[in-house]
Chain A
Amino acid sequence: MAGAVSRKKIYVIACVAVVALAVASLFVGVAKISLIDFLDGTVSQTDWLVLQTSRIPRTLALVFAGTSMAVAGAIMQMLARNKFVEPATTGTVEAAALGMLVVLLFAPDLPVVGKMLVAGVFAIAGTGLFLWLLTKIPLRSVVIVPLVGMMLGGVISSFAAFIAYRFDMMQAMNVWTSGDFSTVLRGRYEVLWLAFGLAIIAYRGADKLTMAGLGQEFSVSLGLDYRKVMTFGLVIISLVTASVVVSAGMIPFVGLIVPNLVSIAFGDNLKKTLPWIALFGAAIVLVCDIVGRLIIAPFEVPVGAVLGVIGSLFFLYLVLGRNAYAR
């Protein structure tokens, strides 16, 4: 039982750390807001305004996006039964961006939730296509799986780029596919609450998702409706991705790094690991965003770029790593 106690302790420490990071994130930025003023109760009117309209939304957006993308990555890895996939390597992101493009062309006045839903439907189609491809292609190596996804993503995004080019919307495409939280303001991030809610709903289905991760035969033998669980997971992944793409833009690699680190430490029983995945997801996005805000202050490096650097290194480590863990 000693293990259980210390694990609980680590859990509390991790929670405190994430809260601390979130607080730090509130007080980093061009407009200097002092934590001491805040605690003294001597915060100026403008500081309050900055906090309310910019800082708090940004921090919440970071937490929600990090949490839900990490959870989406973990689910994707279960459904594809492969450690190297996440929404950015399965065509999900590209399909969501294509959906956004279509919305802006045909129904630009749709409210943001409507845009998200259309992007979500495209993401479901793209991810579904990926999962279908996996059942059709004989896969000789686990590394092939994300390559198939990236190729599919490439095809979808070249199609999107063609349309965007014709309609002069290349810049908008860029915004969706590269995560940047500097533009997050009150009124422009709220759809991420939905992503967070979806992550919580996913937790309620954690056992079923883990069983689906054992494969179709085990699932059927245990009386699980395999198709239904796959669809459930697919919808969660797609809507989460669409929410993030629509609001802050895609943050890459969170869905890859976080579930793998948690898997190495605690395994893959989602009922036990999803809370950790959510916490680490929030933490890593908060840290990368703070780093991005500090290194060339008063300018910013978008969080997507920071994560891209860290994530690609980690991906290489996973593929080339000496341990046979992911195979």
Chain B
Amino acid sequence: MINVRNATKSYDGTLVVDDVTLGLKRNGLTSIIGPNGAGKSTLLSMIARLVNMDDGEITVDGLDIATADSLELAKRLAVLRQDNHITARLTVRDLVAFGRYPHSKGRTNENDLEHVNRALAYLGLTDLSGRFLDQLSGGQRQRAFVAMTLCQDTDYMLFDEPLNNLDIHHAVSMMKLFRQAARDFGKTVVVVIHDINFASCYSDHIIAMKDGKVAEQGSPDQIIDAGILADIYNTPFQVQNINGQMIATYYGV
């Protein structure tokens, strides 16, 4: 369970996350949606201790992220931010293997190796494992980062816009992978995502943010609603049930 209590953050006097209180239950895929500047990424980064809070408290399985041992947290929670730029020339395999650091501390054993191979296989990177990161396309690199995060094998996995740079095929397989991790392996996956329909079709729970606050939260059926979405995005929406999936369109035509 991740508990966020009164989390607040402002940059240069602008309130980005405004007194958010939130509970994220274990197991399942949670999507955070909302317009630009709603505070989604900042909230995710605060939960992952990458950004300091101005005020409030966040606990992960009862551990206060402000005071808990960082290595201990790294065994429970992994995060992948967007726009990762790595100048070091590492092979895909080396990068993914660093995901094992919280467990192995540099002494990789058989078990670690198995995790690395499995993560590479899940993301379809086995054949590319010897390539350097700078020899990959943007989408391949993004998959390598996700593989590294999976390899950390934590109960909680946070991803900020994980579908960036991915084509439709890889975006769908990535979301399927997250759902599988949640359903079959009991992981808790939290994604910040722009594509509402991916959120609708794959999430167990959706959190809609606006102006630094949680505007609405609930199941996809509850949140993917023309009225709610129109409020959040200031844009007219149409929502249709297509074969049991709630699909939102907003192209204004």
How many angstroms from the CA of A211 to the CA of B129 in the assembled complex? 18
Interface mask (A244-255 → B, CB under 8 Å = 1, otherwise 0): 000000000000
Apart from A213-B86, A263-B89, A271-B106, 17 more pairs, CB < 8 Å: A78-B88, A142-B87, A214-B88, A214-B98, A215-B84, A217-B79, A217-B81, A218-B98, A220-B49, A221-B149, A221-B152, A223-B71, A223-B74, A223-B101, A267-B91, A267-B132, A269-B91
Q: Report the minimal beta-carbon distance from A35 to chain B, rounded to whole angstroms.
A: 41
Contacts of A222 in B (CB 8 A): 74, 98-99, 101-102, 152
How many angstroms from the CA of A214 to the CA of B79 in the assembled complex? 14
- Mind listing 24 A-B residue pairs with CB under 8 Å? A81-B88, A210-B88, A214-B98, A215-B84, A216-B50, A217-B79, A221-B74, A221-B149, A222-B74, A222-B99, A222-B152, A223-B101, A224-B101, A263-B89, A267-B89, A267-B90, A267-B132, A268-B88, A269-B88, A269-B91, A269-B94, A271-B106, A325-B89, A325-B134
* A115 in the interface (beta carbon within 8 A): no
* B119 in the interface (beta carbon within 8 A): no
B-contacting residues, A174-215, CB 8 Å = 207-208, 210-211, 213-215
Give the residue of A220, A223, A268, A271 whose beta carbon is less than 8 angstroms from that of B89. Answer: A268
Q: Which residues of A contact B (CB under 8 A)?
A: 78, 81-83, 142, 207-208, 210-211, 213-218, 220-225, 263, 267-269, 271, 324-327
Contacts of A208 in B (CB 8 A): 106
> Across the two chains, which residue of chain B brings its CB closest to A207?
B106
| A223 & B75 in contact (Cβ 8 Å cutoff) | yes
Give the residue of A83, A213, A223, A267 whose beta carbon is less than 8 angstroms from that of B73. Answer: A223
Contacts of B74 in A (CB 8 A): 221-223
Contacts of A221 in B (CB 8 A): 48, 50, 74, 78-80, 149, 152
| A225 & B94 in contact (Cβ 8 Å cutoff) | no
A-contacting residues, B135-151, CB 8 Å = 149
| B87 & A83 in contact (Cβ 8 Å cutoff) | yes
Given contacts A214-B86, A263-B89, A269-B90, contact A220 B134 (CB under 8 A): no
Given contacts A207-B106, A220-B50, contact A213 B98 (CB under 8 A): no
How many angstroms from the CA of A210 to the CA of B78 in the assembled complex? 19
Q: DSSP class of A's interface residues: helix, strand, loop or mixed?
A: loop
| A217 & B102 in contact (Cβ 8 Å cutoff) | no
Contacts of A81 in B (CB 8 A): 87-88
Contact size range, B: 20 to 34
Contacts of A82 in B (CB 8 A): 87
How many angstroms from the CA of A117 to the CA of B248 in the assembled complex? 66
How many angstroms from the CA of A210 to the CA of B88 in the assembled complex? 8
How many angstroms from the CA of A327 to the CA of B87 in the assembled complex? 7
How many angstroms from the CA of A42 to the CA of B37 in the assembled complex? 82
| B88 & A213 in contact (Cβ 8 Å cutoff) | yes
Contacts of A218 in B (CB 8 A): 84, 86, 98
Q: Report the minimal beta-carbon distance from B42 to chain A, rounded to whole angstroms.
A: 13
| A-B pairs, 10 with minimum CB distance | A223-B74, A223-B71, A268-B88, A207-B106, A267-B89, A213-B88, A223-B102, A268-B89, A269-B94, A222-B101
| A220 & B90 in contact (Cβ 8 Å cutoff) | no
How many angstroms from the CA of A214 to the CA of B90 in the assembled complex? 10
A78, A82, A223, A324: which has the most chain B beta carbons within 10 Å? A223
* B219 in the interface (beta carbon within 8 A): no
A-contacting residues, B48-86, CB 8 Å = 48-50, 70-75, 78-81, 84-86
How many angstroms from the CA of A83 to the CA of B134 in the assembled complex? 14
Contacts of B149 in A (CB 8 A): 221
Give the residue of B78, B85, B94, B99 whose beta carbon is less than 8 angstroms from that of A267. Answer: B94
| A224 & B106 in contact (Cβ 8 Å cutoff) | no
Give the residue of B75, B84, B87 whose beta carbon is less than 8 angstroms from that of A213. Answer: B87
How many angstroms from the CA of A31 to the CA of B99 in the assembled complex? 57
Contacts of B87 in A (CB 8 A): 81-83, 142, 213, 326-327
Contacts of B81 in A (CB 8 A): 217
Contacts of A225 in B (CB 8 A): 70
